[in-house]
Amino acid sequence: METTLDISGCPDQHRVRVELCPRNELKKVELELLNHVMVGAEQLVYTTRFHELAALAPDIVPTLEKRIEWYVGGLPSCIQGHVIAAHPTTLEMVVTLSATLTDMMVASSALKKETGTTKELEQHPAKKQKVVKNFATTTTTKEAVPTQPQLNHQTYSGMAPLCDKCKYHHQ
């Protein structure tokens, strides 16, 4: 069971965090915050995790403006523009607006609610995603026919006769 230490009320938060958390773990938290994005319509999960990461890595989001900028940056692109256009002044306004817009996008089928293991990731211009395509063919014949090498359909212009065994021209 993982336990967390709430140091948000401590007057010397930075010193406590540096003393209790190994540097490599802080780096992992910072990296996760930098790559944190909302998946599908899971706005509550995104917001909760963003607040946790921002509390653990305050150097990345030191001001309210930076915190708002990073929060909006992780939203799906169909919501980002609307939130930016509203010019919110507090993080609470941003969270409320993004939740409302997420619900509207789900209702209009622009965003899909996540179910099970199927996840449809929102495309972010700054973060490239790897696309893999798999193709398969099926046959409906009753017997499996062994594939023959494709013959070059150019006409033979030499003098050697055609061999019945290998279907090539030679002496």
Backbone angles phi, psi at 78, to 5 degrees: -70, -15
The whole-number average pLDDT for the span 124-146 is 59
Tokens of 77: 């692109």
Residues 6+ apart with CB under 8 A from 82: 97, 101
Q: What 8-state DSSP symbol labels residue 114? A: -
Label residue 117 by pLDDT band (50, 70, 90).
very low
| 45 pLDDT above the threshold of 80 | yes
- Reading phi first (left if > 0) and then psi (alpha if -120 to 50, else beta), residue 152 is in beta
| 38 pLDDT above the threshold of 70 | yes
Q: What is the pLDDT at residue 40?
A: 87
Which residue, chain included where needed, has tokens 């696309």?
131
Q: What 8-state DSSP symbol labels residue 61? A: S
d(CA 103, CA 127): 24
CB 71 within 8 A of CB 95: yes
Residue 34 identity (one-letter amino acid): L
d(CA 81, CA 109): 18
| 122 pLDDT above the threshold of 60 | no
Q: What is the dihedral of CA 98, 103, 107, 110, to 10 degrees?
A: 30
d(CA 121, CA 105): 15
Q: What is the pLDDT at residue 15?
A: 54
Label residue 86 by pLDDT band (50, 70, 90).
very high
Question: pTM for this structure?
Answer: 0.56
What is the sign, positive or negative, of the torsion defined by CA atoms of 84, 90, 91, 95?
Answer: negative
